[in-house]
Chain A
Amino acid sequence: MTTSSVDAVAGCGEALVQLEHVVKDFPVKSGSFFARKRERVHAVADVSLDVRRGETLALVGETGCGKSTLARCIVRLHDLTAGRVLFDGHDISVASHAELRPFRRRMQMVFQDPYGSLNPRRRVGSIIGDPFAIHGVAHGAERLRRVQELMELVGLNSEHYNRFPGDFSGGQRQRVGIARAIALRPDFIVCDEPVSALDVSIRAQILNLLAELQDELGLTYLFISHDLSVVRHVSDRVAVMYLGAVVEVAPVGSLYGHARHPYTRALLSAMPVADSERAAAREEIVLTGDPPSPLDPPSGCRFHPRCPRAQARCASEALVLAPRLGDTAEHVAACHFPLADGEVLAAAAARAESL
């Protein structure tokens, strides 16, 4: 998104956030009342990933792949089951609430639903001023001045600070959410599907705003989305998640041009393109079935039951995300049989397909 982040892509950007073997399970109850079983949903399974200063790292994947859970683990809205999260070199996964406080100022979140994330009974000025109140900075007239500054910065009329969220449209509410997130000048913002609920014409306004703010304030973004065309537009690097695991990480151009993991390739081929000729021309890999349950994930590579290239080894040997033959250090895929450039997956997929 920014010119400074080009350095980060080249590999010399230092990590702002480091994830080391992050695991997050949720206990669930199942079975009948008398034969209660305690099971665990394996939402995030052993994810190691860096977010570099000044870059936009996108986290893509389908519903239930654990991308939002992972993001919430990073900002400590969830406690980890195992692993560590380092923010600017400090381990925040075991920090107490008091120890966490200075870091909370530096990491913020923008949510998907601009309706659900703003209290309808409070005026937007007071919503945007919340971070100031919580962290005890800027009081009275000074706070109002800074709230109005923020409103101007995100493209809202600063005279509307007295209005309620209900008086604003979806796009404007998302601007309110963004103003609140940048109030304390954070370093790092997790954008969880920030434009998914917005109409196409409004979506572009918000994407541009996020890009401008990144340039002006030197922000680092973790951008969560299921929309691959948006991700391609905003991100420097992309991490693809499937069923709790990161299966491929790569610079954006490399990922879209030379996807190595069969799941990534299938995901990209399913992406609708607003261009009738390109839609007709591209490789079409239709995956069969639905992702398996994270209650009982498949052994080995979690994608193997749906993978057209899967062999016996895929079911038995688990994988780590590491450079393999043909990978660069920047572009890694967790696959025993990664795709080479130009290799066609569709033929294998057609064989596996039942429809």
Chain B
Amino acid sequence: MTTPDRANGTPLLDVRGLHVAFTTPDGVLEAVRGISFSVDRGKVLGIVGESGSGKSVATQTMVGLTRGARVAGEAVFEGQDLLAMSPDQLRVIRGRGIAMIFQNPLSSLHPLYRIGWQIVEMIQAHEAATRRQARARAIELLGLVGIPRPDRRVDDYPHQFSGGMLQRAMIAMALALHPRLLIADEPTTALDVTVQAQILRLLRRVQQEFGTAIILITHDLGVIAEVADEVIVMYAGRAMEVAPRRELFRTPSHPYTRGLWHSIPRPDMEGARLTPIPGQPPSLIAPPPGCPFHPRCAEAVARCGADTPLLGALPGTERHLSACWLTEGGASP
């Protein structure tokens, strides 16, 4: 595997104009409708969105996990376009270059094999390590992610681990081959808050100590606020707003982001009613024309239903982008 441009300036992953569509009995479902983003080495990119916003499909497509999808665009990882790779080439990237963890760790582990065996198997599939070496590495990794008595727990079956420990084991497995990018898809959604705090802290440590870049996919703005460096807000297959974390939380710009913001109960509200976003997310088979959010947007004007705004930088900023006609950020196509 060639790894050019390791140094200066080139992002680790650069996604341009990604489209993903599925053919369903009801018609063509456009899950991702043209998004572009990049991830720098050692940074955490948060992708936040509700069910059906395309946040998971976008990342799964890059690592070849959406079979049968019609894909357009490019996703350049360390100089190579992931979308143009053969399944065999992708298999090399998955694990060594890009690792993934999912919401439900139990469904990612085989219930009838010991945890350690599964990590060893994964290491040996990618590297010429002996069983003994791989096992020693598995124990080291389990200890690293905070499993107590890893030399013993390595021989446990998945059902003997709690939910938080399983997610730790998944992170250990993901780190086994020193990937440059870790895609964490709702990694804490199935966990209790106290365990969630442990796992988020672990992810932050992984990023700081190993310099692993992370794409963190979540529906929870609270989780994003904890760890992300930069945030993409997705809605109906599009990026509505992109901003560094602090700016997104300090000055959310897009009406959808602000709507999400007002939907969350916050400490200073003291019993006041929430301001929900009215209506339902649109169908992705027959999405509304123009801005996909305009049917639910209180500020929509005539143009919003006709032309689709593209992401553009807000005045006075470089990295705070919004796709909306009402801010000057909305650039014409």
Contacts and interface: CB of A to CB of B under 8 A. Distances in A.
Nearest to A199: B50
Contacts of A211: 273
Contacts of B222: 229, 271-274, 279
A200 B219 contact: yes
A104 interface: no
B263 A169 contact: no
Chain A contact-residue range equals 35 or more
A233 B274 CA distance: 9
Contacts of A256: 267
The SS class assigned to the A binding surface is helix
Interface stretch (A81-89, A282-290, A313-321): A282-290
A15 interface: no
A286 B201 CA distance: 9
A233 B265 contact: yes
Interface in A169-211: 169, 171-172, 199-205, 207-208, 211
A265 B287 CA distance: 45
B261 A274 contact: yes
A273 B269 CA distance: 14
A272 B226 contact: yes
A274 B266 contact: yes
B269 A233 contact: yes
Q: Which 10 A-B pairs have the closest CB atoms?
A: A272-B222, A233-B265, A204-B276, A204-B263, A274-B221, A270-B197, A201-B277, A62-B192, A204-B274, A199-B50
Interface of A: 1, 62-63, 169, 171-172, 199-205, 207-208, 211, 226, 228-230, 232-234, 256, 266-267, 269-279, 284, 286-287, 289-290, 354-355
Given A277-B246, A290-B162, A354-B146, 18 more contacts: A62-B193, A171-B280, A199-B50, A200-B260, A202-B280, A203-B276, A204-B263, A204-B275, A205-B276, A229-B265, A232-B267, A234-B265, A271-B193, A272-B193, A277-B250, A284-B197, A354-B148, A355-B198
21 contacts: A62-B192, A199-B51, A199-B219, A201-B259, A203-B263, A205-B276, A207-B265, A208-B274, A229-B267, A230-B265, A232-B267, A233-B269, A256-B267, A272-B220, A273-B267, A275-B249, A276-B225, A277-B250, A278-B225, A279-B226, A354-B148
